[in-house]
Structure 1
Amino acid sequence: MGNCCAPVRTNEVENVSTKDLLTSSVHDSKTFVLNPADFIQISTLPITKDYELGETLGSGSFGEVCIGTHLPTGMKRAVKAIYINESNQKEIDKLSKEVSILKALDHPNIIRIFEVFRNQSKLYIITELCTGGELFERIQKSRRFGENQAAKYMLDIVSAIMHCHNQDIVHRDLKPENLLFESNDPDAKLKLIDFGTSRFVPPEKRLSKAIGTCYYMAPEILTSTYNKQIDVWSLGVILFIMLSGHVPFAGKNDQEIFARIKGAPLTFGHQSWQHVTEEAKILLRKMLDKNPNTRYTIEQVFNDNWLQTRGLSKVPDKELEAESLQRLSCFRTHSKLQTAIYVFIVSQLLDNSHFDKLREVFMSVDKNGDGFLSTDEIMKAVEHFDFRINPQEILKQCDTDKNGLINYSEFLTATVNKTKAYCRINLKNAFKRFDKNDDGQIDIEELRESLGASACESIVKKMIDEADANKDGKIDFDEFVEHMNKYSQEISENV
């Protein structure tokens, strides 16, 4: 949870509606619309049925975070156990907001949520495990650190926040402690974590509760209502520290820090700024503009010349990009059940080792950095390689949530190595997850529960009928595998 050191402001209420935790939008019964978030549901079964809880990574008044081993796959995941008071509806609603926000986000640089468990005293949020440490820890350990590396890290973070803002989500507590590397690999991706203070904020709404971590709080948080522009300010503070080693507005205590945030000018007088380019300073002035109306938007930050030229010094291999685009164009699912299983395996059962290079390709094609591939972006990539591929056909085959764009999970589902991803062991684990009562069969109620809000009764019945070879109204594992094999030559015994 975020560390708050903000002044208390009384008689102020956040005027913002929240999205329901366990429901998605109602889908047209004639169209099967599938989103990976539909597989993320609250389970009241004991967490120990699926996880072995291990080493504690941190604890506080809210609860604790530990390492959990996912028993079906052996994957290590982070388990955030939060104490809940059944009689405190406000507390439960707050946790529900965090889960619903994580469900709404699908981006290479945002922590991935897998599932949620709940009992009478705790709520368990299961996410991917980041083992590479905090951003500033890595910077301190690196022998060489310059503007190019700073821009590369910032580009990752900016892209993640732009995805949030496009979903009308404001993070509200951006700080180095909430930026973790997924592993100790030198090329590991940065991940944005901790959405405990985040909120859904439509463009016409504003927030009023003063919250955040003092050094990174925007001036408007301290004086008036605010919107998502506060995240740009916080990113400006993080970039300032990366380039100089100190905060832009320091003080002996919180009150002095707040006073300088509100009134002191931004300066680059410290000797550490002597070798920093003017282009970097110009960007910082735009990000740390005290007026949120003239401050850069997150899109303007992303498109800034310094960030783009410095941050894109490493680009994915062109041959790999071409190969991935070919896979994207060839991707086909021939049944609704097959589509659901593919999406489930990619979003719930595969670790990041399957996606390392694909993430670079996705971000290379995603020119505007919003976390989606549009027809225009696909067209430009296709033209670059002189492919004879119809971008509209790619969208038709890969856009499972039917929003006219290819999101990150849809891209991975279509381009991942199918021999490794859709192997028999992963099919077995997917089957077990759908088979709620462990009787070796999936019936219509179990499938409907597994899909959440994805499909109405007629769609679910059709999915059962697709694979139910003996017409007993259920799908056993042999029928399940036979149905998947019917449409795919990639399914193998590979682990």
Structure 2
Amino acid sequence: MGHTPTSDDYDVDHSKVLGRGRFSTVRLAYCRRQQRHVAAKIIPISRDNDVTIANVSREFAILSELDHANIIDVYDHFLDGDFAWITMERAQNGDLRKFVHLRRRLSEKLARKFFAQILDGVAYMHSRNIVHRDIKCDNILVTGNEEIVKICDMGCAVIVKEHEEDLIPPRQSDQPHGPSERFYGSPSYAAPEVLDRVVYDFKPADVWSAGVMLFFMVSGYLPFGCDDVGRIRARMNSSLRWPRPIKQISRHCRDYTSALLQLRPSDRLTAEGALHEIWLDKKTL
């Protein structure tokens, strides 16, 4: 990890918070050396906490390996005092959750445009055996022209072997072998097998989270709520509650979303397979 002092290279706008995570704050900063604004993810650390430092390096390494139009670009990472930094591309329209809330819900046409980009990014990650494990609207950024979205925040991401028999652990506390038994991500977007804390395959869980996100985009609310984990899990056993009148969301869209939100992981579409379903067909735009 580099050791670039922020006082030399970056002017930080402390009044501008672009986002907050469980362990980080994302602020607007100006890089004098590169003469551009960046988003700076700043994580408090303890100098004797090698795990936190390793996690930051791992997140940067994973993002650096990815080259896709719908995955955020990263520029640098370094330690500065009691903080670790990751600097990355700035998305001027904030995250997708706020973008949807400002509009109450998205038109099916715009949701399709955004979802195709997100799904293409997820399929690309899966093709490289990288799983995100925290797909949600807060981790999708809307760029300045409001036409392009980008996946961000790889803090929970892992690299798996082809048959998911071996796991490169994101934290020392993770099990070093096999699909995860631990909980990662956000409960309201998490797949049932994740909430059940059973051994699960990583990639179908990402697809479920993407399906929750699609439902949110076209309806304006989360399909299973966002309060208690037990209630969220129980609601998954019932039919999806679409807004009324139901005809405002097409049958193709509802069927497509349901195919992503199948309780059994083996029944779900894969990210690559979902890209070729009729609802995402450009002819239906």
TM-score of the superposed pair, with normalisation by structure 2: 0.85
**Could you report, residue by residue, the CA deviation over 1:78-117 in whole angstroms, capped at 9, with x for unpaired residues?**
1112122222222222222211111111111111000112
Higher RCO (CA-CA < 8 Å; seq separation 6+): 1
* Aligned CA distance change for structure 1 residues 70 and 241 (closer, same or farther; 3 Å): same
> Does the Cα contact within 8 Å between 1:47 and 1:117 map onto a contact in 2?
no
Partner of 2:13: 54
Counterpart in 1 of 2:174?
Answer: none
SS in 2 for 1:52: strand
Instruction: State the AA in 2 paired with 1:275.
Output: Q
Which of 264, 267, 272 is the aligned partner of 2:240? Answer: 267
Contact 2:133 2:156 in 1 (8 A): yes
What per-residue deviation string (whole Å, max 9, x for no partner) do you get for residues 164-216 of structure 1?
11121111111111111122x343x1111111111112232212211211111
What is the DSSP-based 3-state SS (H/G/I as helix, E as strand, rest coil) of the residue aligned with 2:281?
helix
Contact 2:106–2:220 under 8 Å retained in 1: no
- Could you tell me how far apart the structure 2 residues matched to 1:60 and 1:268 are? 29
CA root-mean-square deviation: 2.3
Q: 1:201 aligns with which of 160, 178, 199?
A: 160
Once the two structures are superposed, the pairs formed by residues 217-366 of structure 1 within 5 Å of their partners are 217-223=190-196, 224-226=198-200, 227-250=202-225, 253-261=228-236, 264-268=237-241, 270-309=243-282, 313=285
Matched, 1:80 2:41: yes
Give the AA of the match of 1:51. Y
Q: Distance in 1 between matches of 2:75 and 2:8?
A: 15
Paired-residue identity, %: 29
**TM-aligned CA distance change 1:296 to 1:196, over 3 Å:** same
The structure with the larger Rg is 1
Kept after mapping to 2: 8 A contact 1:248/1:266:
no
Aligned residue identity for 1:118: L
Unaligned runs of 5+ in 1: 1-41, 314-495
Q: What's the CA shift for 1:75?
A: 0.5
Q: What is the SS of the residue equivalent to 1:124? A: strand
SS at match of 1:72: coil
Q: In 2, distance between residues paired with 1:120 and 1:51?
A: 14
Determine whether 1:44 maps to 2:3.
Answer: yes
- Per the TM alignment, residue 118 of structure 1 is displaced from its structure 2 partner at its CA by 1.6
Unaligned runs of 5+ in 2: 165-178
Preserved CA contact (<8 Å) 2:70 2:118? yes
Aligned residue pairs, count: 267
2:183 is the counterpart of 1:210: yes
> SS of the residue aligned with 1:279?
helix
Q: Is the 8 A contact 1:53 1:69 kept in 2?
A: yes
CA separation in 2, counterparts of 1:121 and 1:251?
A: 33
* Partners of 2:273 and 2:151 in 1: CA distance: 20
Distance change in 2, residues 1:81/1:241 (3 Å): closer
Task: Indicate whether 1:99 and 2:74 are aligned.
Answer: no
Q: CA deviation at 1:272?
A: 4.1
Please list every run of at least 4 consecutive aligned residues from structure 1 whose deviation after the TM superposition is greater than 6 angstroms.
Answer: none
Contact 1:233 1:288 in 2 (8 A): yes
Tell me by how many angstroms 1:140 deviates: 4.1
Change (3 A) 1:272 1:157: farther
Residue among 83, 89, 114 paired with 1:128: 89
Change (3 A) 1:140 1:310: farther
Matches within 5 A, 1:293-442: 293-309=266-282, 313=285
Residue 109 of structure 1 corresponds to 70
Equivalent position SS for 1:152: helix
Distance in 1 (alpha carbons) for counterparts of 2:217 and 2:245: 11
TM-score for both structures, normalised by structure 1: 0.50
Alpha-carbon distance in 1 for matches of 2:109, 2:260: 18
Structure 1 residues 260 and 143: alpha-carbon distance in aligned structure 2, compared to 1, 3 A threshold: closer
Residue 149 (1) aligns with residue 149 (2): no
**Higher mean displacement: 227-236 or 69-78:** 69-78
Aligned in 2, Cα 1:195/1:272: closer, same or farther, shift over 3 Å? Answer: farther
- 1:415-472 superposed Cα distances (whole Å, 9 cap, x missing partner): xxxxxxxxxxxxxxxxxxxxxxxxxxxxxxxxxxxxxxxxxxxxxxxxxxxxxxxxxx
